[in-house]
Amino acid sequence: MLKLTNINKKYGNLEVLNFSEWEIQTGIHWLKGGNGTGKSTLFRIISGQIPFKGEVELNGISLTKEPIKFRSKTSFAEAEPQYPLFITGNELVKFYIEARKAEKKQAEELAHYFEMESFLKNKIGSYSSGMLKKLSLICAFIGNPDLYVLDEPLITIDIASADKLYKLIQEKILQGKGILLSSHQEVSKDKLRLDTVFQIVDKQIVKI
């Protein structure tokens, strides 16, 4: 499914990632590790947000050669999402629907699922951090990508919402999708059946 080859990422002189190959298939994959190990950098590389050296492919589609097609097949939810404060949740959702060529109904169902319908008409500036996180999750699940990249999806959301997220992830797995997530917290193994667990150690991705 996802294949990364000869990846090298530096911030100035600081090398964060350097590995020759990493591959994952469909299923749920957890990337664990402490602060500053490079998890967010790896996720931002996979979602095509930052420049890097190397090659990223999803089901044979190259990020560098076909960036638009690649981006239409992946979805990324940031750990700390930031959106313009003056737009409403609805405006952001509409933008995602247009960009991902998705159905409005799907977005409505997601908003209902995460109990966000009544807040979407409000400006994002008025949202709590939990609401903002739920909004980013709604946006991430809009459309029909093959791979969902969720950076720290559990932070700031309440237990009920986390349970709903677990269920949604399981549904996506049944549809044959891939989920790549990071979390500082232990992922509940009763609620989420992890296929693999990885850790970034010394710029390399290691399977645990």
Partner 1 sequence: MLRLLIHSLAKEFYQQHAGFFLVGIYILFGVVEPSQLIGYQKALLLAGISSPYGMMVVFVSWLLYTIKVHFFIKQRLELVKYNFIKEIGGLKKNVQLKLWLKLYFVILLPIFIYVLLLIGLSFQHHLFTSVISIIAVFSALTSSLVWFTYQSVTFSFLNQKKKQLSIGIKIRKPFFSWPLFYLFNGQPLMLFMCKVLSLAFFKSMLWMFADVGNDIRILLIALLASVLCHAVLMFTLLKFETEYLNFGKGLPISIWKRLRNWILVFGIILVPEWILLITASHYDLYSIGNGFLFGLAGLFFLLTILYVVKLNMDNYLKWLLFFFFIVMWAILANYYLSFSLILLASCKIYYLIMFDKTDLKVGGI
For the CB of residue 203, give the shortest distance to partner 1 in the complex, in Å.
11
For the CB of residue 15, give the shortest distance to partner 1 in the complex, in Å.
11
CA distance 111 to 91: 13
For the CB of residue 101, give the shortest distance to partner 1 in the complex, in Å.
8
Residues that bind partner 1 (CB under 8 A): 11, 16, 36-38, 40-41, 44, 47-51, 67-69, 71-72, 74-76, 78-87, 91, 95-96, 98-100, 123, 136, 139
CA distance 79 to 184: 11
CA distance 150 to 154: 9
- Sign of the torsion formed by the C-alpha atoms of 116, 27, 32 and 151: negative
In the complex with partner 1, which residue's Cβ is closer, 96 or 108? 96
How far are the Cα atoms of 29, 30, 80, 87, 202 from residue 187, in angstroms, in the given order? 11, 8, 19, 33, 23
For the CB of residue 171, give the shortest distance to partner 1 in the complex, in Å.
22
In the complex with partner 1, which residue's Cβ is closer, 79 or 162? 79
In the complex with partner 1, which residue's Cβ is closer, 82 or 118? 82
In the complex with partner 1, which residue's Cβ is closer, 132 or 192? 132
Which amino acid, residue 48? G
